[in-house]
Structure 1
Amino acid sequence: MQVTQNIKAPEMLIDYYKAIEDSSARMLEAAKHHDWDEVVRCEGACAVLIEQLRYRSQDQELPPEQRKEKTRIMQRILRNDAQIRILAEPWLAQFDHPFEGKPQVLH
């Protein structure tokens, strides 16, 4: 399954939170379909958006009326992240012991 990126350029700080949430939801969808390459791509998009948010928040402040919305968005992102981690645990476990069960050839 290929999840396409369709994130519009954020204009206000709250738009960054919404875009990060959207990317987080895409990551979760990809994880549900075991599309780990797409999970990694979405994670990269999240990282870029987070950096942009950090930069923009240096000279902008979130209006008081949007702070509750930010809190709700952050809670949804955290829930998505927890679900992604649960889904990814078996996939990540294979990297703990990459040579387990495979014959090792030493040269």
Structure 2
Amino acid sequence: MNSSLITFYEAIERASADMLEAARAGNWDHVIKLEGACVLLISQLKNAARNNALSAEESQLKSRIMKRVLVNDAEIRHLAEPWLEDIDDMMNGRRKTIH
């Protein structure tokens, strides 16, 4: 069993859950910081995966982990939509009007 690769997947899942928690709290600076940590973990995983393969059991575990990461990512994106629209408006000089 190649637990080192699974450890990377588990760390990515933890970071993704932390990103979701920060997004739910509206702490977008922390979301961005955690996203950077995820990018680093993914890079390390890619390097480690070059020389190692997962067993069938590990592949199933990886699939379950990645499904949870994708669910977290989808919710983060949903929460980010209004925030991204606000930034787009600010960058394009548009102001929000309150009626």
Q: Which has the higher contact order (CA 8 A, sep 6+)?
A: 2
CA distance, structure 2, for counterparts of residue 96 and residue 40 of structure 1: 17
CA deviation string 1:29-83 (max 9, x = no partner): 0000000011001100100000000000000111221111100000000000000
> What TM-score do you get using the length of structure 1 for normalisation?
0.82
**Which of 51, 58, 77 is 1:59 aligned to?**
51
Aligned twin of 1:5: none
Distance 1:101 1:61 in 2: 52
Query: Unaligned 5+ residue runs, structure 1?
Result: 1-10, 103-107
Cα distance between partner residues in 2 of 1:63 and 1:37? 37
User: Paired residue for 1:100?
Assistant: 94
Alignment partner for residue 70 of structure 1, among 62, 66, 75? 62
Within a 5 Å distance, the mapping from 1:5-84 to structure 2 comes to: 12-84=4-76
| Structure 1 counterpart of 2:22, one-letter code | A
Gaps of 5+ in 2: none
- Distance in structure 1 (CA, Å) of the matches to 2:17 and 2:7: 15
Identity %: 49
Matches of 2:95 and 2:14, distance apart in 1 = 39
Runs of 4+ more than 4 Å apart: none
Q: How many residue pairs get matched?
A: 92
- Give 2:29's aligned amino acid: D
Structure 2 length-normalised TM: 0.88
The answer to which structure has the higher helix fraction is: 2
